[in-house]
Amino acid sequence: MHALELRIPPVVVGLLLGSAMVAAAHFTPALGFTVPGATFFAVGLAGAGVVVAGLGVVAFRRARTTVNPLQPAAASHLVVAGIYRHTRNPMYLGMLLVLLGWGLFLGNALGLGLAMLFIPLMNRLQIGPEERILTNLFGRQFTTYQSTVRRWL
């Protein structure tokens, strides 16, 4: 998996998992479930994900640093304000919330399980490598931030 680090855009990972969730719902109808108000909650969850991810992008833009997840070494500033006071990875957290909303909308247990794969995939392919690079770039400033703000929530 080392060869895949920082090579697949997180949005592509999310889209692939979202597609796999549709396939899971189609091919494993026995794992389907219904929740009263599922559509309402699914839209709310996905909407919250869009807001969380958007706040992350806005914070990066304000700091005038790169938003490109494949080029973390191009970061010019360590962003620790706004949403970054609560999570080190709001863009990935937002994508996870969208996937969970999608899974709830599809109403399939396997689909929700596939959404949860986003966490270890991002931890391994994206966040771990990013953290190594940010440690090299920002040293103690990043390690202090890392020790005070959680990776996801």
Indicate whether 106 belongs to any domain.
yes
| 2 domain residue, yes or no | no
Q: What is the pLDDT of residue 2?
A: 86
Note the pTM of the prediction, 2 decimals.
Answer: 0.97
Assigned domain for 31 exists: no
Q: Residue 32 — left, alpha, or beta (φ > 0 → left; ψ -120 to 50 → alpha)? A: beta
Nearest to 143 by CA among 134, 85, 61, 47: 134
In a domain, 21, yes or no: no
Q: Is residue 14 part of a domain?
A: no
- Considering the domain boundaries, does residue 60 fall inside one? yes
Local mean pLDDT, 10-residue blocks, the chain (153 residues): 92 98 98 97 98 98 96 97 98 98 98 98 98 98 98 97
Please report how the helices 109-116 and 90-106 are oriented relative to each other, as an axis angle in degrees rounded to 10: 170
Question: For residue 22, is it within any domain?
Answer: no
Which candidate, 126, 95, 112, 86, places its Cα nearest to that of 22? Answer: 112
Q: Which domain holds residue 112?
A: 36-148
State how many domains the chain has: 1
Domain membership of residue 25 (yes or no) is: no
